[in-house]
Structure 1
């Protein structure tokens, strides 16, 4: 469950009142309005104001007396409370940020493990057959297949081979689909028999693609 960095409403009201006392807007000995009026000022219920002032009363910042409102007792304690409140809020924010970063790290580790498993599976799949090996075919300048997708050039149908991965710069795409577009500089990792190497080389050679019959 996602945790909020914002404290309960009555804590926020208590902090605002304490901030006014700490700043000298409300001085020691000053009396201020009751729960109903403060509730309308803050846009909260009188019960929320009661809890906020009760919290400050417990800390010795204000004094609550029946039928006479609240009285400011200590600016020093108000300043200490404001500093502690802000420190706690910063600490909570850091904890939440750390928790989110840990979750992102765990998700990244899971993705890394998934890709590693795919690589191992592909290697084992082709090692188990004496007929098939993997070969690398770079897409050279002016190759006829540049800018076209694997499906459009009918790679599997024309060569009988399988593209198991494509190295695109620093990125390795495993099991590319027919919609994957080929670009100059790509390196195709192809699983095929020795007899199919020529077909692959001819298909990606820098000349016009053979016309379909």
Structure 2
């Protein structure tokens, strides 16, 4: 039997990271599990370090100081900020997309434009860069519709609007009140689609694709 040897760092401190660590803790190929920042539940399975997931320099320094063989990065924000790229520059292996690939998640405008370019079926949408033109564009819309902040908003930047009043409020909150900060620099006013919704994810290393079971 081979001796456990890998030192692994998991970046983040939510339920998703807890689930990943719980699964990794069952492996006999891992010698040490670390998390940054982690949480109370994670601390029962891994050594937690009080470092923000978005402090890229500190996360890289931690991985180096621990002598990590592998780093798992699952939160959207550090992926968008290029943590995987920064780790690669130091020769540290990691699981997660580069900042360029993460734009599919971090920029809804980029993702929409790419889908249109490649003829990938997607809801029709108009893109607006300021509240005034968005409000004017709203006059041409039918309801219900969907208004999306372009950037990452902790899962709260997608608003289903059943009428004009709720749409006006959404545009004001995102683009004037700046409820989601820079994530609201641009918005999409999108066609509302009906039907079953599923999540379909794949892992890809640039050469191979592994599809996961779909979930709802």
Query: What is the TM-score with the length of structure 1 in the denominator?
Result: 0.24
Larger Rg: 1
More strand by share: 2
Query: What is the TM-score with the length of structure 2 in the denominator?
Result: 0.23
